[in-house]
Amino acid sequence: MTTASTFSQTRARSAQARLAAAFAAFTLGALVVFTVGFAGPEMIHNAAHDARHATGFPCH
């Protein structure tokens, strides 16, 4: 195995790891934003009410 192919494999693995980490973090972030901004339960709505209005989320 040449140094070049080892390098390109390592690089591909690193890109894959980066993709997986970014996807996981993005999904987690979207879930948090969804809960604060859009979740239906009345308790969450009332707790986040002013933040929803200030952030421009449709609230009522």
- Site for other proteins, rule CB under 8 A: 11, 14-15, 17-26, 28-33, 35-38, 42-43, 45-60
Closest approach, Cβ 55 to other proteins, in A, equals 6
Closest approach, Cβ 6 to other proteins, in A, equals 16
When the beta carbons of 5 and 46 are compared against other proteins, the nearer one is: 46
Q: How far is CA 9 from CA 20, 24, 49, 50, 55, in A?
A: 17, 23, 50, 50, 44
How many angstroms from the chain centroid is the CA of residue 45? Answer: 21
Closest approach, Cβ 54 to other proteins, in A, equals 4
Asked if 34 contacts 40 with a C-beta cutoff of 8 angstroms, the reply is no
